[in-house]
């Protein structure tokens, strides 16, 4: 736990915050904090800061936080063809830790219909995993999650209004163009599209290219969705977002 997070409801006019749940256990058992020590804290979807441990009573820890600024909103976004439910479960925390602004889950021809029935698309189930990813990365800003069952209407009717500007990248192993050939103006948003493990079909590829997606490849290997997402997002962060 690299930043202890609190919800806005937990922040009151009082100068201190007391916790006796898993966060207190982490502060005492993992961080081994003592009275007078300082730990990193944050408000979910809000400011980051530091807090001094001012009291320990059994399993109850009292903190005196000093809040700073809210982290900058990420310009990195992901359009993901829904993978198998167990893979989607594994992905939530890493995606949040990589600092995404939007996670857009869409359908594709090679996505099994019953995948959209998974409870891992319900906010009460994926939200704790997103928070886990933020805690790991020391961030506070939750990505916006958008789920669309119909691919063609989303791309044709909604995508441009949802993301009116920025660079759009489509990962495709048969493409020759490499990530290093793509240029992105500093500060512009980036949308990376990652297809199902069976790949996008020709219609899906054509439709996205008609809507300004640039096809690129990270190599000829066909990767599992969870591996592909992490590898491709790392490339985008390095070559596009921070150059």
SS3 assignment, position 81? strand
- Please say which residue of 46, 67, 88 terminates a domain: 67
User: Poorest-confidence range of 20-34, 50-64, 100-114, 220-234?
Assistant: 220-234
pLDDT for 217 beyond 90: no
Q: Show the domain range for 26.
A: 4-67
Do 53 and 120 fall within a single domain? Answer: no
- C-alpha to C-alpha distance for 64 and 180, rounded to whole angstroms: 46
Please tell me the predicted confidence (pLDDT) of residue 185.
62
For 86-132, what is each residue's pLDDT tens digit?
999 999 999 999 999 999 999 999 999 999 999 999 999 999 999 99
pTM for the complete prediction? 0.91
Confidence grade of residue 243 (pLDDT, cut at 50, 70, 90): very low
Is the pLDDT at 158 greater than 80? The verdict is yes
- Binned at pLDDT 50, 70 and 90, residue 159 comes out as very high
pLDDT for res 1? 73
pLDDT for 166 beyond 90 = no
133 shares its domain with 19: no
Domain count, the chain: 2
The verdict on 227 and 120 lying in the same domain is: yes
Reported confidence tier of residue 34, pLDDT bands at 50, 70, 90: very high
37 in Cβ contact with 171 (< 8 Å): no
Q: What does the pLDDT look like over 37-66, one tens digit per residue?
A: 999 999 999 999 999 999 999 999 999 999
Using only C-alpha atoms, the chain has a radius of gyration, in whole angstroms, of 20
Residue 220 main-chain phi, psi, to 5 deg: -80, -15
116/222 same-domain check: yes
pLDDT on residue 175:
65
Instruction: For residues 55 and 83, state if they share a domain.
Output: no
Evaluate whether 81 touches 111 at the Cβ level (below 8 Å).
yes
Same domain, 232 and 176: yes
- The residue ranking higher by pLDDT, 209 or 187, is 209
**Class of residue 127 by CB neighbours under 10 A (exposed 0-12, middle 13-18, buried 19+):** middle
Closest alpha carbon to 143 in 58, 44, 51: 44
Residue 94 is predicted with a pLDDT of 95
Q: What angle do CA 75, 196, 213 make, to 5 degrees?
A: 45
Asked if 137 contacts 2 with a C-beta cutoff of 8 angstroms, the reply is: yes
Mean pLDDT of the chain, nearest integer? 90
At 180 the pLDDT is: 67
Q: State the Cα angle at 64 between 60 and 68, rounded to 5°.
A: 135
């Amino acid at each position: 736990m690299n930043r202890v997070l609190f919800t806005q409801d937990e922040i009151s006019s009082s100068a201190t915050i007391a916790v006796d749940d898993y966060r207190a256990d982490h502060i005492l058992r993992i961080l081994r904090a003592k009275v007078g020590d300082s730990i990193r804290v944050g408000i979910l979807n809000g400011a980051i800061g530091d807090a001094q441990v001012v009291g320990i009573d059994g399993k109850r820890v009292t903190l005196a936080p000093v809040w700073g600024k809210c982290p900058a909103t990420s310009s990195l976004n992901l359009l993901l063809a829904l993978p198998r439910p167990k893979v989607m479960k594994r992905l939530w925390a890493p995606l949040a830790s990589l600092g995404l602004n939007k996670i857009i889950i869409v359908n594709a021809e090679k996505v099994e219909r019953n995948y959209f029935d998974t409870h891992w698309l319900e906010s009460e189930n994926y939200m704790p995993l997103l928070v886990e990813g933020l805690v790991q990365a020391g961030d506070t800003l939750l990505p916006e999650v958008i789920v669309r069952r119909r691919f063609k209407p989303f791309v044709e009717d909604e995508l441009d209004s949802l993301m009116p500007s920025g660079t759009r990248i489509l990962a495709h192993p048969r493409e020759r163009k490499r990530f290093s050939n793509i240029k992105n103006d500093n500060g512009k948003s980036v949308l990376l599209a990652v297809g199902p493990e069976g790949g996008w079909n020709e219609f899906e590829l054509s439709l996205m290219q008609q809507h300004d997606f640039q096809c690129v490849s990270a190599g000829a290997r066909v990767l599992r969705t969870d591996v592909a997402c992490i590898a491709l997002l790392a490339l985008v962060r390095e070559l596009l977002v921070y150059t």
